[in-house]
Amino acid sequence: MAVRSAIVLAAGEGKRLRPMTEHRPKPMLPAATRPILAHVFDALVESGITEITVVVGYGHNRVQSAFGSTYRDVSVTYVTQDKQLGSGHALSVADSATTSPCLVVNGDQLVDTQILRDVVDGHDDSVATIGAIQHGDVTDYGGVLLERDETGGSPRVREIVENPRDDRGYLLNAGVYVLEQRAIDAIGGANSRPGEHSLVDGLATLIEGDETVRGVRSSGLWIDATYPWDLLEVADALLEASEGGVDHRIASSAKIHDSATIRGPVVIAEDCVVGPGAVVGPNVCLGENVTVGSNVVCEHSVIDADTRIGPNATLIDCVSGRGVRVGPGSTVVGGPGDVHVEDRIHRNEGLGALLADRVRDGGGVTYRPGTIVGSNATLESGATVSGTIDSETEVRS
């Protein structure tokens, strides 16, 4: 069945990724050197989608100004979810702007073309079709249980559960759906909790009403950045994937000193400068207009646009926001470390440090494993920092 229309749910903030999402929504965070949402759009276009409707909310101006009204010659329409009332509500906001059947995807999770095509190809006479993948732990996401199917077609979904805690053999709900109009209507009317409409609960209601909801197994790429260190894993996955939308490349406008060493895989974006004696890589992504000073060592890091790394600095397992200034001789020693996110401490995560937008350090700063520094923080020369440093904070040595 041909599906040409897609709805992208991109209204959320991504609170567990703060302070990276303090000034932009999660779909605009870097997946390697490009926004997560750009990879989602690429997969949609390559799957034959010709009409994209994006539900925006938090930081909507960032999304709209970045992508405009067309993407790779495909029309892009924006609708605004003014209040975050759940995925089902977001879907209903977009309903009038699209045609059914439509493909529905999350704008803040990476899915490749294979998953999208598998779900579209598996959609037949059902009210809805769900993409599912094998995954080691579904408890933070959604689980899908499929019935046995002897006909050779896509099996029916027996049950769909958010954040399952039992030990049944769940597949992970990849957040990729093909929906007919009556499924969209049912989802819009499903109240999960007071004031919230859940897409998954709407589908569960359809299943309980004996409507046919299909499930399609796929082996395509799926990855979600839930926490700050996940941005490193996203970059790793894209660098390693054969169809991840990332070339192991150095942009033609980048300037690499003859004495610098580049250890692949890396992506070095436009207008970057890598100075003499610097060692960049493996598994490093440098966004546009990044400057790496002389004798810098940068390994397994995602460095966002307009960042400056001073001479003799060392960055290992580092994630930076935009416009960061790392001073001469500063050191991110690398993970693992304990990272405090919201009200929970995550033990032994592979994060050296996260430096949010426009962090400034005066040089000679040491970042202990797991450090998170909020946007516009200033660190004086020689300081040693650890834990979480709030935005706009000044740290003295």
The pLDDT-based confidence of 323 (bands split at 50, 70, 90) is: very high
One domain, residues 11 and 159? yes
**Is the residue at 235 inside a domain?**
no
pLDDT at position 192, please? 57
One domain, residues 208 and 273? no
Range of the domain at 337: 247-395
Share of the chain above pLDDT 90, in %: 54
Cross-strand partners of 394: 378
Computed over every residue of the chain, the mean pLDDT equals 88
Q: Is the pLDDT of residue 24 over 60?
A: yes
Domain stops at, among 190, 224, 258: 224
CATH number at residue 111: 3.90.550.10
Total of domains in the chain? 2
Compute φ and ψ for 173, nearest 5 degrees: -70, 110
One domain, residues 170 and 55? yes
One domain, residues 185 and 289? no
Instruction: Give tens-digit pLDDT for 260-295.
Output: 999 989 999 999 999 999 999 999 999 999 999 999
- What average pLDDT does the segment 365-372 reach? 96
CATH number at residue 346: 2.160.10.10
pLDDT at position 242, please? 45
pTM over 0.75: yes
